[in-house]
C-alpha cells in the first residue's frame, strides 16, 4: 500500500479570516484515499459457480446412459456450488478482519446462495439417472438370482 503525501499548505487569501467553505479551508481537508488502495471482494467464486452450474446442466441435457456422467453432474451441481459459497463467505470474513481497506460485497454472497438453490434444482436429472441405474441393477440381480432374502 502506498503512503499519501502530506496535504499542500493553504494559499494565502485576501481576507484575514478563514471560514469553512472557502477555498483555503477546502485545501486543508484530509486527503481522500485512492481507488487503487481498496481491496474488493472477488467475483471469482460467482464466475466458477455459474460455470459449474452450466456444465452440470449441459451434462443433464446430453442423452447418455452413462452413470458416471450422472455422478459427475451430481457432484458438480449442489456440492461444488455450496463449497464455493462457503469459500466466498470465509474469504470475505477473513479479509474483513485482516485487511484495513477491504470492501466486502454482500451481493456476491446473496447471488451464491441463489445459485446454490438453483443448483439443487438442476441436480434432479442427475439424481434421477443414478436412481434408474441403481434400480435397474437391483432388478437385474433379483431377477437373475430370485433370492429375496437379502432384501428383507
What are the extents of the domains in the chain?
39-142
Whether residue 115 has pLDDT greater than 70: yes
Radius of gyration of the chain from its Cα atoms, rounded to whole angstroms = 29
User: What average pLDDT is seen over the chain?
Assistant: 79
pLDDT the model gives residue 113: 93
Quick check: 53 and 85 in contact, CB under 8 A?
Answer: no
Highest mean pLDDT among 28-32, 33-37, 143-147: 143-147
Cell (9 digits) for 52? 459449474
pLDDT the model gives residue 112: 93
pLDDT the model gives residue 3: 78
Q: Please, which residues bridge with residue 103 across strands?
A: 40
Quick check: 79 and 127 in contact, CB under 8 A?
Answer: no
Say if pTM beats, i.e. exceeds, 0.85: no
Please write the tens of the pLDDT for every residue from 51-82: 999 998 888 888 877 888 889 888 888 899 99
Amino acid at each position: 500500500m502506498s503512503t499519501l503525501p502530506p496535504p499542500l499548505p493553504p494559499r494565502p487569501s485576501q481576507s484575514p479570516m478563514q471560514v469553512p467553505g472557502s477555498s483555503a479551508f477546502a485545501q486543508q481537508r484530509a486527503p481522500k484515499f485512492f481507488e487503487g488502495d481498496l481491496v474488493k471482494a472477488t467475483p471469482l467464486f460467482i464466475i466458477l459457480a455459474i460455470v459449474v452450474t452450466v456444465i452440470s446442466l449441459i451434462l443433464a441435457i446430453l442423452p447418455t446412459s452413462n452413470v458416471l456422467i450422472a455422478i459427475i453432474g451430481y457432484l458438480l451441481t449442489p456440492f461444488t456450488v455450496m463449497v464455493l459459497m462457503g469459500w466466498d463467505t470465509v474469504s470475505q470474513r477473513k479479509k474483513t478482519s485482516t485487511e484495513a481497506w477491504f470492501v466486502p460485497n454482500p451481493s456476491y454472497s446473496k447471488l451464491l446462495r441463489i445459485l446454490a438453490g438453483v443448483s439443487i434444482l438442476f441436480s434432479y436429472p442427475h439424481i434421477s439417472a443414478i436412481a434408474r441405474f441403481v434400480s435397474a441393477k437391483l432388478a437385474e440381480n433379483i431377477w437373475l438370482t430370485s433370492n429375496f432374502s437379502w432384501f428383507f
